[in-house]
Structure 1
Amino acid sequence: GGVDVPPVRGPELPVRHPEAPSPEAWFDPAPRQAPVAGPEREPDPEAGPEAEPGERAEQGPGPAAAGPEAVRPAVSHLGDRAPTYAPEPGALPPADPAALDALTPDTVLEGARYGTYTLRAASLRGDSARYRGESRRDFLLTARFGSGDDALILVALAGGDRAAPGAAEAAAELCRTVASAVGRSQDRLAEDIRAGHRDALRSGLQRLTDRGYGRLRARAAELGLAESAYTAGLRGLLLPVDPQCRTRVCFGAGAGGLFRLRSGRWQDLEPAGSAEDKEGSDGTEGGFRFRAAVARPGDTLLLCSGGLAEPMREEAALPAELAARWADQEPPGLAAFLADTQLRLKGYADDRTAAAVWEA
């Protein structure tokens, strides 16, 4: 009844054994909501968006910078135990000749540079799906709405449970529904971001997120599936093109994560229990998540699906390795970013989708 594991072909690459402490040591304490002393004041458009609570916390010393001349190491996996599956794709998913537009590539890469920031994004099939000949269930969408300095960049990513039959379709539908709503509201969203209208942004993005999950529930009923079989965790990132605006807006619900690398230290910006709506937009525990903050030069923001968020929180070796690789001021190229996001660990074989923003 077991699963035959294919042998790894060719010579093994060296195993990375970073001197990593416990996961908590690589993460600063998560920002806590400051108590409200009185009625909320109207935001001052001239002052820009207010900083998130805890954003100015002192950071501890980080790993030594790799330096511009450092070579990115080639490793087969992190940790003492080798992953179960081979590191490269095996079987292709089956194809329906009448539905070839439904085929999903193994890996997707995206990148852009605007003003003071550089964007890198990747979505790749997990080791388990590669071995079993299953399609990638995670979905990645990047789009630019508008033109000139008024334009808005959206990164939307979603991932579903690999055991759910409609996970891939749900992830794609959710991202496209949310992206369509963002595109139609681009002018208003860009104005709210520049003016620092946090409450308007939060309520508007929560409404469109709720509508996206509402469509998934309706579609599940049409297909005769349980709601849990046709859903996905969502994360969205809004980036203004205007170089004078450093506000970054993140939102979503369900499985996934948001992390920030600052001064060599990682901070989990979505700690357990921080969601505003405990019931969740998708009917699951986790709730709607929203964060709007002003980026600092040198920051790296990492948005990811559950397949990467889990090892980031549970395995100290992964955040330690990424902190060392991303210590340079110059962001990695697309190929290097892909190599970074697919660092393998024993016990983590799901799809991975990530978007990272480097601030200059």
Structure 2
Amino acid sequence: METDPLALDVLYLLLLASVVLCGVLGLALRRASRRRSVATPVDPYQGLLAPEADRTRRQHETQLTGMRAERDQALAANQHLHFQLTELRGSIEARIAAEVDGRLAAALEARVEAAVEARVAAVLEARVEAGVAARLAEASAQAPARFAPRGSDQVQEPPGAPPQSPAVPHQLPLGRDCAADSTVDGADLGPLIVRAASVRGPRQREDGEHRRDAVLLGLVTEIPTPTLLSVVAAGAPRGLWSQSAAQRACRSLAAQVGRYGERLGSVLDRGGDPDPRTATLPAGYAAARDEAEDGELAGLLRAAVRGVGRSVGFVARSEGGATSIGADAAVPETDAEAEVAFTALLSELGDRQRRRHVAFGLGDTCVLRLRNGVWETVFTGVPEARLPTDADELRWARFETRPIDLVAVCTAPVAELLLCDDLGGWFARRWAHGRPHLTEFFSDVNVRVRCSGGDRSVVCLWDFGEARRAPEPA
């Protein structure tokens, strides 16, 4: 049987095409399997059962969570340690700086103290030498006059010269109303230091006359606010019973102020601040005699002074020999034998930066204030007015003191000394620091200088504002 060559060729082509097609299909299947294997990740839990795979997965996740928590804790601990290290470094640097500053300050202070001590020692030594030389020269110049026999012509000390010693009387007074030659009193009342003295004048000592002044210090317990009463009374220069009248005026005024103490306390508490423009002219004085016009304070003060005037008049009549107050009521000479001028001062006690005072009185007594080394008049009465007849001539004034101020309630002779240019400066230097001993204060008041007046009586109040600022006793 013969085969057709064309059919064989076709058969060969078909076989060849099938073989090629099979190769192409195999290659395509291989590439597709490779792509599927790359796109689909291998599951590590594929070979495991589903429950076991879940349990293993959860264990791994739990371990991973724990490791993350430990990592966070480690990071937080590291950050805390970093903060502590920063704080420790700042604290160490601050301590080092403070130690360095302290040592530098101590070294500088020691050097400054050494320099200051050396300078002060040099200045003090120079001043001591100059003071000793000056005192020697002064003593040499005054020796002939001090040791000259009595009765010879002596050179008087100038008014501004410091005294060498207080004056001493050489005879006792001859009057029937005589009292002690001198009296001194005082107290340290916390921030307020008070000293009082009354001394017979040099002229009265030479003439053998008795002292006619009196002073009084007392606490007015009837006033709710602690209040100090200071009184200076000056008897008539030639009054026969002026000394007794002055003492009676002081005691009676204390009693009268206590009698009206509660009402005075309420009025003083309501009182406003003093007007600084009335530093020299007495505030509260009115020419009218109507108490309503003068104010409640003026009315109370005037009522108290009227009571004092009646008490002083009783002294004049009783000492003058009358049997009753009305027996010699028409005899003006009896009152003239016991005339008294006075000034009183009510001062608040306790720690105060602005201490209020009320001054009142009549006559030539006055109140002075020492501030910044200068004496100034803050109150004066009517010079011609006297008790027991002129009680309605009362004047009064409010004023204040600041810490380190000095107030002097004094009679005219002491005011003359304090307002003198040279001697006033000497008193200002002596009394500027406050708290003198009673004997020292008495010696200052009894300074051996002459003045135109008679007896010397003064009450001095040093105001330090607070008790802790008052100087310690020497």
Please report how far the alpha carbon of residue 234 of structure 1 lies from its aligned counterpart in structure 2 after TM superposition: 0.6
- Which residue is 2:394 aligned to? 288
User: Which of 348, 351, 360 in structure 1 is aligned with 2:455?
Assistant: 351
Q: What CA deviation, in whole Å up to 9, does each residue of 1:147-178 have, x standing for no partner?
A: 99733221222112221212112111211211
For 2:363 and 2:450, the matched residues in 1 are separated by: 24
Is the contact between residue 160 and residue 231 of structure 1 (CA under 8 Å) also seen in structure 2? yes
Larger RCO, structure (CA 8 Å, separation 6 or more): 1
For 2:430 and 2:398, the matched residues in 1 are separated by: 26
For 1:16 and 1:331, the matched residues in 2 are separated by: 27
TM-score by length of 1: 0.67
For 1:331 and 1:289, the matched residues in 2 are separated by: 30
For 1:347 and 1:204, the matched residues in 2 are separated by: 36
Is the contact between residue 159 and residue 449 of structure 2 (CA under 8 Å) also seen in structure 1? no
User: Which of 208, 222, 230 in structure 2 is aligned with 1:133?
Assistant: 208
- Which residue is 2:296 aligned to? 200
Q: What CA deviation, in whole Å up to 9, does each residue of 1:238-283 have, x standing for no partner?
A: 1233434721121111121211111111111236xx75x9867655
For 2:413 and 2:160, the matched residues in 1 are separated by: 21
For 1:343 and 1:95, the matched residues in 2 are separated by: 24
Q: Secondary structure at the match of 2:249?
A: helix
Is the contact between residue 13 and residue 76 of structure 1 (CA under 8 Å) also seen in structure 2? no
Q: What CA deviation, in whole Å up to 9, does each residue of 1:37-69 have, x standing for no partner?
A: xxxxxxxxxxxxxxxxxxxxxxxxxxxxxxxxx
User: Which of 158, 164, 170 in structure 1 is aligned with 2:245?
Assistant: 170
Tell me if 1:260 matches 2:369: yes
User: Which of 307, 320, 324 in structure 2 is aligned with 1:211?
Assistant: 307
| Matched residue type, 1:336 | E
Please report how far the alpha carbon of residue 216 of structure 1 lies from its aligned counterpart in structure 2 after TM superposition: 3.0
Q: Secondary structure at the match of 1:302?
A: strand
User: Which of 90, 112, 118 in structure 1 is aligned with 2:170?
Assistant: 90
- Which residue is 2:344 aligned to? 236
Please report how far the alpha carbon of residue 284 of structure 1 lies from its aligned counterpart in structure 2 after TM superposition: 6.2
For 1:8 and 1:18, the matched residues in 2 are separated by: 24
Q: What CA deviation, in whole Å up to 9, does each residue of 1:109-130 have, x standing for no partner?
A: 1111224211111111112232
- 336-345 or 155-164, which moves further after superposition? 336-345
For 2:429 and 2:392, the matched residues in 1 are separated by: 30
| Unaligned ranges ≥5, structure 1 | 1-5, 20-72, 78-86, 97-101
Please report how far the alpha carbon of residue 323 of structure 1 lies from its aligned counterpart in structure 2 after TM superposition: 1.7
| Matched residue type, 2:372 | S
For 2:417 and 2:206, the matched residues in 1 are separated by: 20
TM-score by length of 2: 0.52
- Which residue is 1:326 aligned to? 431
| Matched residue type, 2:427 | L
- Which residue is 1:158 aligned to? 233
How many residues were matched structurally? Answer: 281
For 1:162 and 1:142, the matched residues in 2 are separated by: 23
Please report how far the alpha carbon of residue 138 of structure 1 lies from its aligned counterpart in structure 2 after TM superposition: 0.5
Q: Secondary structure at the match of 2:305?
A: helix
CA 1:132–1:286 in structure 2 vs 1: closer, same or farther (change >3 Å)? farther
**Which residues of 2 match residues 27-106 of structure 1 at below 5 A?**
74-75=163-164, 87-94=167-174, 104-106=179-181
Q: Secondary structure at the match of 1:267?
A: strand
CA 1:284–1:147 in structure 2 vs 1: closer, same or farther (change >3 Å)? closer
Higher radius of gyration, 1 or 2? 2
Please report how far the alpha carbon of residue 349 of structure 1 lies from its aligned counterpart in structure 2 after TM superposition: 5.6
Please report how far the alpha carbon of residue 189 of structure 1 lies from its aligned counterpart in structure 2 after TM superposition: 2.5
User: Which of 188, 191, 203 in structure 2 is aligned with 1:113?
Assistant: 188
| Unaligned ranges ≥5, structure 2 | 1-147, 273-283, 285-294, 321-330, 465-474
For 1:192 and 1:111, the matched residues in 2 are separated by: 28
Is the contact between residue 412 and residue 453 of structure 2 (CA under 8 Å) also seen in structure 1? no
- Which residue is 2:403 aligned to? 297
- Which residue is 1:337 aligned to? 441
Q: Secondary structure at the match of 1:157?
A: strand
- Which residue is 2:422 aligned to? 317
Q: What CA deviation, in whole Å up to 9, does each residue of 1:178-199 have, x standing for no partner?
A: 1111122333323332332784
- Which residue is 2:290 aligned to? none
For 2:315 and 2:268, the matched residues in 1 are separated by: 32
Please report how far the alpha carbon of residue 90 of structure 1 lies from its aligned counterpart in structure 2 after TM superposition: 1.4
Q: Percent identity?
A: 26
Q: Secondary structure at the match of 2:205?
A: helix
Is the contact between residue 160 and residue 168 of structure 1 (CA under 8 Å) also seen in structure 2? yes
Tell me if 1:188 matches 2:263: yes
| Matched residue type, 2:422 | A
Q: Secondary structure at the match of 2:427?
A: helix
Q: Answer 1 or 2: which has greater helix percent.
A: 2
User: Which of 325, 344, 356 in structure 2 is aligned with 1:247?
Assistant: 356
| Matched residue type, 2:262 | D
RMSD: 3.5
